Amino acid sequence: MKISIIIVSFNVKHFLRQCLNSVISALDSIPSEIICIDNHSVDGSAEMIRNEFQMVHLIQNQKNQGFAKACNQGIEMAQGEYILILNPDTVLETNSIKLPLNFMDEHTEAGALGVKMMDGNGRFLPESKRGLPTPSAAFFKMSGLSRLFYPSRFFGKYYLDHLDREEIHRVHILTGAYMLIRKSVIEQVGGFDESFFMYGEDIDLSHRIVQAGYVNYYYPKTNIIHYKGESTSKESLRYVINFYNAMLIFSKKHFSGEKTKALSLLIKAAILFRAFLSLTKRIAGHVFIPFADFVILLTGLVFISNFWAHEFIYPEGGNYPEVFYQLILPIYALIWILSIYLLKGYKAPFKYKTIFLAIIGGGFAILTLYSLLNESWRFSRAIILIGGIWGLFSLTSFRWMFNQIAFLRNRFKSASRVLIIGNIDEAERIIKIIQRTKNSPDYYAFVSPDTNKIDHKNYIGSIDKLNELLKIYDIDEIIFCAKDINYHQIIKLLTQLTTKRIRCKIAPENSYSIIGSNSISSLEDLYLHELKSIVSQDNQRNKRVFDLMSAIVLLATLPLTLFVVPQPWGFLKNIFLVLFNKKSWIGFDQSDPNINLLPRIKIGVLTVTDGLKDFDQNSETIVGLNVRYAKDYNLKQDLNILFTGFKKLGRP
């Protein structure tokens, strides 16, 4: 057997499906095996492999073993002459296995090899080639000096910035996203060090391969997509700490004591700096709007007080005492701020109704406090009343402006002009998915994947004119239909884009997901149009509360409801199943042919179709109802279905 491909997966089902399809295409006729280690995913990854990729050897762990240990599980059972460690969030070209294997066969000194990687938008990922993470190299990377002086041989040692990314080079460190290694070399130097918690396993193994006398190669004659890449999550404090721990383990293992101390001091300084920035940003984010409200309210109150004093209280000269301005007015403003806070007025999205209620409630609180004060501390109720009017006007205006800025920012971020590359049937399916979301584009057009067959009634052009079409139609986003254009073509087109502002995504066949690299704050954030509303934390809590309250009410009214529901014993059983969280009152219609693509929720006593009095049973309607329920879940829907299907609550 020539090669064993080892993929460690954790809750990335959609990426994994796409990755496996590209791997199978790239393997072609190469004698091979694919080993997938699932680290106790809960998103149906293992079931997907069993159902769709029977040729894959699946190891299903009962807990998350971590990357290093899971890789070693695969290495132990691998039979290939070569082992390819591959991330599940990658997409291979058709030559991404064949060409590297040929290179390794021709270069017997090669111990391991990595390829040129790009993110989902076609941008080069610098971790494709890396140097030894010495204390200075790690510090230059984490401090940002490598970016400031890019490209620099001295400051850019971590990513070897001075090396031409289009040429083959000997490098020290390869990435575990794609790492082709001789099996004999792994047997000699050992597998991944399981003491690394996160990050660093690939660095350690690469270094041990070099120490054993072999050469690691950066091989850019083929490209792969790696969705995570150098994402924004790597700027987070959590990443810095994990990276720091990995570097310390590596340093203690391979460097002298002095170098380890130097690395520890340098990276601790970097962590403290990042922590300070993170804390400052978080505090500023929470304090900015309340502080702005306070300034707006107090400024208005001072102006109103001065006007009232000069016009009505002291028309011949004079003013309120200093204590009124320095103490009383700030207290008024703070009471209104506290009222907004108690009514959750500082929780996005900002609502005008909340401001209205908070100003009125706060005004009553101020007037009550005013009536309890000594006569000498009572100044004018008119200032409180006019101040309340000022608060209503100014704070709602401020919220309106803030909401408009947020709206414009979201509009700017979302794709408004989209090109979909694929045959017309698949392209129309994709646009229907997009139109079901709140990110429906202002403009979309179809591009033919076949340069010889262009129906100008449906297409604006073909892929050989892609760069021209992007400029002419001012396109923000490209979506590739994987059913009609293979991964090799997709990656080739990405490398040929003349502008890097375009967002690029891939729509897998028979899927509701459109996969791209918009944000990497979590593994699931890469799904642009995933139907996840129903399983958000708030909606899960709301749905459970609805189930519990409904079950309690139904249990309390049993003497009456038992005569209404045709199957009373089934009804009673379902009440207790819902109470003990074995079932939900409302769930998906399980006859949906795409049920495995939907989020996982409890089986329902009733289904989404029970909300329709006259329902014509057909799969297209069922799919549409399930999708709408998943995407736009709300309690009103559940209540409506419960009332409409009330007589079916005894259903087994």
How far is Cα 588 from Cα 625, in angstroms, rounded to an integer? Answer: 8
Q: Are residues 57 and 114 in the same domain?
A: yes
Same domain as 603, residue 484: no
Question: Packing angle between helix 237-254 and helix 135-143, nearest 10 degrees?
Answer: 170
CB within 8 Å of 206: residues ≥ 6 apart: 112, 172, 173, 174, 179, 216
As a whole number of angstroms, the distance between CA 483 and CA 461 comes to 19
- Residue with the larger pLDDT of the pair 381 and 97: 97
Same structural domain, 583 and 503: no
**Is pLDDT above 80 for 504?**
yes
- Kindly report the CATH number assigned to the domain that includes residue 420: 3.40.50.720
Distances (CA, A) of 319 to 303, 322, 367, 381, 384: 12, 9, 22, 16, 17
pLDDT in tens, 557-607: 887 777 788 888 899 999 999 999 999 999 998 887 767 767 788 999 999
Using CA atoms, how far residue 288 sits from 114, 293, 294, 338, 474, in Å, is: 46, 9, 10, 15, 36
**Dihedral pair phi/psi, residue 569, rounded to 5°:** -70, -40
Residue 296 included in any domain = yes
Claim to verify: residue 75 and residue 120 sit in the same structural domain: yes
Residue 379 lies in a domain: yes
Same domain, 427 and 461: yes
Could you tell me if residue 445 is inside a domain? yes
Same domain, 366 and 422: no
Per cent of the chain over pLDDT 90 is: 37
Instruction: Give yes or no: residues 478 and 552 share one domain.
Output: no
- Tell me the Ramachandran region of residue 364: left when phi exceeds 0, alpha when psi lies from -120 to 50, beta otherwise: alpha
Is 242 inside a domain boundary? Answer: no
What was the pLDDT predicted at 531? 53
Query: How many separate domains does the chain show?
Result: 4
Q: Are residues 450 and 499 in the same domain?
A: yes
Residue 143 belongs to some domain of the structure: no
263 has pLDDT over 80: no
Is the same domain home to 194 and 71? yes
The tokens of 634 are what? 């709300």
pLDDT in tens, 617-627: 666 678 778 87
Residue 274 in any domain: the answer is: no
State mean pLDDT over 123-137.
87
pLDDT level of residue 525 (50, 70, 90 thresholds): very low
Averaged pLDDT, 337-355: 83
Residue 200, pLDDT > 80, answer no
Strand partners, 9: 38
**Containing structural domain, residue 582:** 533-648
* Poorest-pLDDT segment among 145-154, 259-268, 457-466: 259-268
Q: Does some domain include residue 313?
A: yes
Are residue 180 and residue 44 in the same domain, yes or no? yes
Is 625 part of any domain?
Answer: yes
**For residues 485 and 134, which has the higher predicted lDDT (pLDDT)?**
485
Rounded distance, CA 426 to CA 257, Å?
60
Q: Which residue has the tokens 């000194």?
A: 109
Give me the pLDDT at residue 243, please. 64
pLDDT of residue 484: 92
Backbone angles phi, psi at 366, to 5 degrees: -65, -45
Residues 571 and 556 in one domain: yes
Instruction: CATH number of the domain at 195, please.
Output: 3.90.550.10
| 342/425 same-domain check | no
Instruction: Report the predicted TM-score, pTM, of the whole model to 2 decimal places.
Output: 0.64
Average pLDDT score, the chain: 83
What's the pLDDT at 261?
Answer: 67
* pLDDT 10s digits, 3-14: 999 999 987 888
User: Using CA atoms, how far apart are residues 377 and 366, in angstroms rounded to an integer?
Assistant: 13
Distance CA 17, CA 343 (A): 45
